[in-house]
Amino acid sequence: METVVDASTSEEANGSAVEKKPIVVFVLGGPGSGKGTQCAYIVEHFGFSHFSAGDLLRAEMNSGSENGLMIRSMINEGKIVPSEVTVNLLQQAMEESGNDKFLIDGFPRNEENRAAFEAVTGIEPAFVLFFDCPKEEMERRILNRNQGREDDNIETARKRFKVFLESSLPVVEYYESIGKLQKIDAARPIEEVFESVKTVFASINEKVKPHGRAEKKFTLLKLQLKWKMNLLRNGVCKGY
């Protein structure tokens, strides 16, 4: 597996810094594999902002927005919500965070998601964490979660798992093929899983050093401008 390359510290041959891009880490894994749990620890230790695409969609669903009914029906069927909706929510959350280091949890879910995020934001992940967990263990965790999620029932869990195998695993395999995948054995107790996660982040920590305050603000302004230009150029998201 190739070592992680961080987009934020690219330098020209003469050593002068060119562009500081936001640092994005995608966090993938089957339903109930422990993505949200581990992200909370990563935030605490490594100063990232964490955005779960599923959480953003559930908030949008409950906000009374025009997409609410569509999102509810997709979530209850374990289906993948159209990219323009999810990318829009992620982009908004990233802009509003004031941070420039992001953990994007549960996204991209399929190839279309992956391509849309890249086309709209111009950002590729520094690396991708993949929580690898057996189906039976994921099922057990979902059914014991008890957080009032409408999709935490055996019927929807199985649909989500099928969609994960058919649509999300190919994305995981894509990142493996380009050397960006960091695979973690997620079947172990939470603390043990986090030990492995820590090792991954510690080994790339030098490369993902936090930007200074002024630098951070400048990065975000450039980011917003770039997104707007990408939209004008590509028109990827019909909803804008």
Ligand X SMILES: O=c1ccn([C@@H]2O[C@H](COP(=O)(O)O)[C@@H](O)[C@H]2O)c(=O)[nH]1
**CA atoms of 138 and 136, how far apart (whole Å):** 6
For the chain, the 3-state helix, strand and coil shares in percent, each to the nearest 5, are 55, 10, 35
36 is in an annotated binding site: yes
Residues 7-46 that bind Mg ion (CB under 5 A): 36
- What 8-state DSSP symbol labels residue 13? T
List of E strands, the chain:
23-29, 49-52, 101-105, 127-132, 181-185
Does position 81 interact with ligand X (CB under 6 A)? The reply is yes
Does position 94 interact with ligand X (CB under 6 A)? The reply is no
Which x/- pattern over 40-79 shows residues binding ligand ATP (rule: CB under 6 A)?
A: --------------x-------------------------
Measured between alpha carbons, how far is residue 151 from residues 110, 165, 168, 216 in Å? 19, 17, 18, 37
- Minimum Å gap between C-beta 213 and ligand ATP is 31
58 is in an annotated binding site: yes
Please identify which residue in 193, 197, 223, 236 interacts with ligand ATP, judged by CB under 6 A.
193
134 is in an annotated binding site: no
Please identify which residue in 5, 6, 37, 230 interacts with ligand ATP, judged by CB under 6 A.
37
